[in-house]
Amino acid sequence: MLRVEGIYFAYNKNDVLKGISFEVKKGEFLGIIGPNGSGKTTLLKIIARVLNPYKGKILFEGEDIRKIPPIEYAKKVAYLPSQIIIPFSYTVEEFVSLGRLPYIGRYGEIKKTDREIIEKTLEQFEISHYRKKKIWELSDGERQRVFISQVIAQQSSVILLDEPTSHLDIGHSFKILDIIREINKSGTTVITVLHDLNLASEYCSRLLLLSQGNIFL
């Protein structure tokens, strides 16, 4: 489904990624692990099209992702960065609704189908009763659930998660990963960066080790 071919990337002069190639099959739960600074987040950002490699390409179902218009790509791939900073007082409901942007479009209104999907996602992550609360009023764990549910509401075929559990205690980590596993079972491909090897081996169907810009496994 997703093929990464020969990706090279450098922030300054030094290469962070040196010719990364791998393939991801539909429905996989892929974990990317490795020491700090090995380029895991960078790789994810490149797949999310936040960064551009200076060499190499990525194919989504055979198509070069650079040729896919942004809205279309958003329906295919959703990305959750490791940190989100929100300068304004959005409510949980408002924030999660933004995940529907690729379907609502620029000028459109939220339709019934969108509302149903948002509703379902809120319930899935057990944050329905928080819907009118402002995001900054929530705890770290609750906030993370809100961020992930926005990604899920996007209903993309692939979701990229960068350290989705790093702010959470072990109990919450399991809870979130359980829900993600369910979503994965219903067909969504998951690519996630995890620093906890135990969690990674527990949930992922396959692991990719990234070290000094090179891939193993």
Residue 84 binding other proteins, by CB under 8 A: yes
Name 138's Cβ contacts closer than 8 Å, sequence gap at least 6. 92, 130, 146
CB of 79 or CB of 130, closer to other proteins: 79
How many residues are recorded in the chain? 217
> Per-residue x/- mask for other proteins, residues 137 to 156, rule CB under 8 A?
--------------x--x--
Strand-strand pairing, 2-10 and 15-24 = antiparallel
Single out the segment in contact with other proteins by CB under 8 A; choices: 48-56, 112-120, 179-187, 194-202. Answer: 48-56
**In the set 21, 50, 115, 116, which binds other proteins (CB under 8 A)?**
50
Q: Residue 45 CB, nearest distance to other proteins (Å)? A: 7
> Per-residue x/- mask for other proteins, residues 2 to 41, rule CB under 8 A?
----------------------------------------
Q: Residue 100 corresponds to which tokens in the numbers above?
A: 């529907």
**By the 8 A CB rule, do 190 and 200 touch?**
no
Residue 217 binding other proteins, by CB under 8 A: no
Q: Which residues pair with 17 in a beta bridge?
A: 9
CB of 50 or CB of 170, closer to other proteins: 50
Q: Please, how many CA atoms are within 13 Å of residue 17, restricted to the half-sphere of its CB?
A: 29
**DSSP reduced 3-state for 61:** coil
Q: In the range 85-104, which residues lie near other proteins by CB under 8 A?
A: 85-91, 94-95, 98-99, 101-102, 104
Q: Residue 91 corresponds to which tokens in the numbers above?
A: 């409510």
16: left (phi over 0), alpha (psi -120 to 50) or beta: alpha
Residues that bind other proteins (CB under 8 A): 45, 48-50, 70-75, 77-81, 84-91, 94-95, 98-99, 101-102, 104, 106-107, 134, 136, 151, 154
